[in-house]
Amino acid sequence: MLIQSNHNGGTPAEYALEVKSEQDTVAFARAIAELAFPGTVLAVDGDLGAGKTRFAQAFADALGVKDIVNSPTYTIIKEYEGADLPFYHMDVYRLSLEEADELGLDEYFLGEGATLVEWASLIEPILPPERMHIRIETTGAESRMVVCRPVGEIYENWCAQLKLRPILKGEGTA
Amino acid sequence: MTAELRETTIPSDKDYVLLAIETSCDETSVAVVRNGREVLSNVISSQIETHKKFGGVVPEIASRKHVETMTIIIEEAVREAGVNLAEVDAIAVTQGPGLIGALLVGVVAAKSLAMALDVPLIGTHHIAGHIYANHLIGDIVYPAIALVVSGGHTEIVLLEAEGKFRIIGRTRDDAVGEAYDKVARALKFPYPGGPHVDKLAQEATEEVVLPRSWLEPDSYDFSFSGLKSAVLAEINRSRMKGETPDFSALARGFQQSVIDVVTGKAIRAAKEFGARQMLLCGGVAANRGLRERLSSLCEEAGVPLLIPPNKLCTDNAAMIAAAADLKWRRGQFSSLDMKAEAIMSLEEWSV
């Protein structure tokens, strides 16, 4: 088995967005969906109940997915047809890195659709070289801090287009 | 055989043997079933010694694990059934829905067998399998309501007649099994923690009352993410106050909320559609609290309830044979270029 490291070296910049309500999260997911292209990879992390699946549902809705998007925890991958792009929804929580590697996720990452991986940090070494990390931190009952870490030029441009606030060095996020 | 055989093209006076393969997710399973109902063997990877040959118990998620165990389990199922491969009349296989890489292994094995033995292939819907597991233990009377509760599925299905499926309710977020496992994570149990939560809830003396998610008044859909959040909020609230959260009272509160809503909706559906039978199925049917409540509600409503034993509730191939039997008796077969389907409609799979 071969697991390659795909870190580009150095600490990548992070960007923050404070959201006050579920509606704000939905709006952010829609804005991201506007930018999505075949091969988009969103690597989403956040504690249980932070709203990863809610974010995925809003993203899928904005891609024109008509089906109910429910949790992929048990089945690991669920595929949907969207009006604009196919949507691949993954939850890798119950996988080891080795198992995830054997699943051949690259076929999705490099496929025709947009992929959203929940608990992505568990499989970071096998994520594609370019992807957008999105960490959802619970700051209150409704409020969240969304921290984006773009890897690759496309996603760095996304952060600029989305007018996200760069996080200054030494600034704590959680 | 119980049902009307109007469309039957296969002589029904002769014994027949179906070999079924299920690889939609974690389990590799092969069963041999005679006349659609008599289980001659039902071999499931996690329940046999195969693991020892491959060094330890690992989830069968990875396709390679299915490939490694597939032929061994086919051989074991055929040997245990005491049949000769030449006696097999058709090959049934889970076509979907499921994890595509896992499904493919079963589908390729099934096609190879069907071709080599020159017998029909029957692509089968996984949820139809869960529902028709009930046909292995009793006669189904229509119209029937099936409550499917498993790791990945939570659905209320109306069967107006044999093999006619209509989904009237489904989960909008977590399946019941997923909700259990996520709450178990919050209560610090290892994955899969569902059975731990069930046990803890049974033993609890106190209950933290949690909200019920009924959704719109006429809806048969489910949503459990709010309940999951309520459990997390309750744990946080205790910690903020410097208290130790009462996990057993929380487990009880969670279980009561899930059971109220799931059984409440199933019974309402049974009444609305004049069901003459309730079918409980899927891996979560093993949950004691759920079985007990549904049994008493069905008794009150005068609706007979069928619940398969645990081995037929969790993913297994005998249930796939039971569902495939619907198609066998009607001569509805799949072609050898059939594809595994990660997403697959239950309603369209109807006979």
| Average pLDDT value for residue range B280-309 | 94
Is residue B59 predicted with pLDDT exceeding 60?
Answer: no
- Under the banding of pLDDT at 50, 70 and 90, the label for residue A9 is very low
- Return the pLDDT at B12: 57
Instruction: Report the alpha-carbon angle B71-B74-B78, nearest 5.
Output: 145
Residue of B nearest to A81 (CA): B343
Percent of chain B with pLDDT over 70: 92
What is the pLDDT averaged over residues B294-305? 97
Domain ranges of chain A: 15-166
pLDDT of A73 reads: 85
Q: Which amino acid is residue A135, in one-letter code?
A: R
A70 and B64 in contact by Cβ < 8 A? no
Question: Which of A52, A74, A136 to mutate to test binding with chain B, by most B CBs within 10 Å of its CB?
Answer: A74
Can you give the pLDDT at residue A171?
60
Whether the ipTM is more than 0.90: the answer is no
Asked if pLDDT for residue B203 goes beyond 60, the answer is yes
pLDDT of residue A16: 94
Instruction: Find the residue in A nearest to B102 (Cα).
Output: A103
Q: How far apart are CA B270 and CA B289, in angstroms?
A: 20
> Tokens 């109940």 correspond to what residue?
A49
CATH code of the domain made up of A15-166? 3.40.50.300
Beta strands in B77-210 (DSSP E): 90-96, 121-125, 144-149, 154-159, 165-170
* Domains B17-132+313-349 and B140-307 are alike in CATH topology: yes
Q: Are residues A30 and A160 in contact, defined by beta-carbon separation less than 8 angstroms?
A: no
* Predicted pLDDT of residue B57: 38
Instruction: Say yes or no: B197 contacts chain A, CB-CB below 8 A.
Output: no
Residue A49 contacts B where some CB pair is shorter than 8 Å: yes
Query: Which two structure tokens, joined as six digits, stand for B4?
Result: 């009307």
The shortest CB-CB distance from B225 to any of A53, A95, A104 is to: A53
Contact (CB<8Å) A99/B98: no
Coil vs helix vs strand at B62: coil
Q: What is the band of A102 on the pLDDT scale with cuts at 50, 70, 90?
A: confident
Neighbours of A78 (CB within 10 A): 25
Q: Do B172 and A49 touch (CB under 8 A)?
A: no
CA gap B74, B29 in Å, rounded: 8
The one-character DSSP state at B171 is B
Arithmetic mean of pLDDT over chain B: 90
Q: Which two tokens stand for residue B51?
A: 């693991």
The confidence score (pLDDT) of residue A143 equals: 92
B23's tokens: 């690889």
β partners of residue B94: B124
Nearest to B297 by CA among B267, B252, B256: B267
Q: Is the pLDDT of residue B58 over 80?
A: no
Per-residue pLDDT band for B190 (boundaries 50, 70, 90) equals confident
The pLDDT of residue B67: 82
Superfamily of domain B17-132+313-349: ATPase, nucleotide binding domain (3.30.420.40)
Q: Mind listing the pLDDT tens digit for each residue in B224-255?
A: 989 999 999 999 889 889 998 999 999 999 99
The residue ranges of every structural domain in chain B are 17-132+313-349, 140-307
Out of B100, B101, B232, closest to residue A48 by CB: B232
Q: What is the pLDDT, as a whole number, of residue B25?
A: 84
Residues near B301 by beta carbon (within 8 Å), at least 6 away in sequence: B267, B270, B271
pLDDT in the model for residue A49: 87
Give the pLDDT band (50/70/90) at residue B2: very low
> To which residue do tokens 């195969």 refer?
B50
Point out the residue among A70, A76, A81 whose CB comes nearest to the CB of B99.
Answer: A76
**pLDDT interval class at B26 (50, 70, 90):** confident
Residue B192, preceding peptide bond in cis (omega within 30° of 0):
yes
Q: Do A74 and B152 touch (CB under 8 A)?
A: yes
Q: Is B57 on the interface with A (CB under 8 A)?
A: no
pTM: 0.86
Q: In the prediction, which pLDDT does B212 show? A: 95
According to CATH, what is the number of the domain B140-307?
A: 3.30.420.40
CB atoms within 10 A of CB A147: 20
B191 touches chain A (CB under 8 A): yes
Tell me the mean pLDDT in the region B249-262: 96
Radius of gyration of chain A (CA): 15
Residue matched to tokens 């996988």: A95
Q: Is residue A26 scored above 60 in pLDDT?
A: yes
The region of weakest confidence among A28-42, A58-72, A77-91, B4-18 is B4-18
- On the question of pLDDT at B8 being above 60, the answer is no
Question: Angle formed by the axes of helices B100-117 and B63-81, to 10°?
Answer: 40
> For residue B172, what pLDDT is reported?
94
User: Once rounded to an integer, what is the mean pLDDT over residues A40-45?
Assistant: 98
pLDDT on residue B30: 97
The answer to whether residue B337 scores a pLDDT higher than 80 is yes
Q: Is A71 within 8 Å of B191 when comparing Cβ atoms?
A: no
CB-based contacts of B103, cutoff 8 Å, min separation 6? B23, B24, B94, B95, B96, B340, B341, B342
**What is the tens place of the pLDDT at every residue in B62-100?**
677 788 889 999 999 999 999 999 999 999 999 999 888
| Mean of pLDDT values over B107-135 | 97
- pLDDT for A115 beyond 50: yes
Q: Is B101 on the interface with A (CB under 8 A)?
A: yes
pLDDT at residue A2 greater than cutoff 50? no
B87 touches A: beta carbon within 8 Å: no
- For residue A4, pLDDT over 80 is answered with no
Strand runs labelled E in chain B: 17-22, 29-34, 38-44, 90-96, 121-125, 144-149, 154-159, 165-170, 277-281, 305-306
A51 φ/ψ sector (left φ>0, alpha ψ -120 to 50, else beta): left
Distance CA A169, CA B7 (A): 73
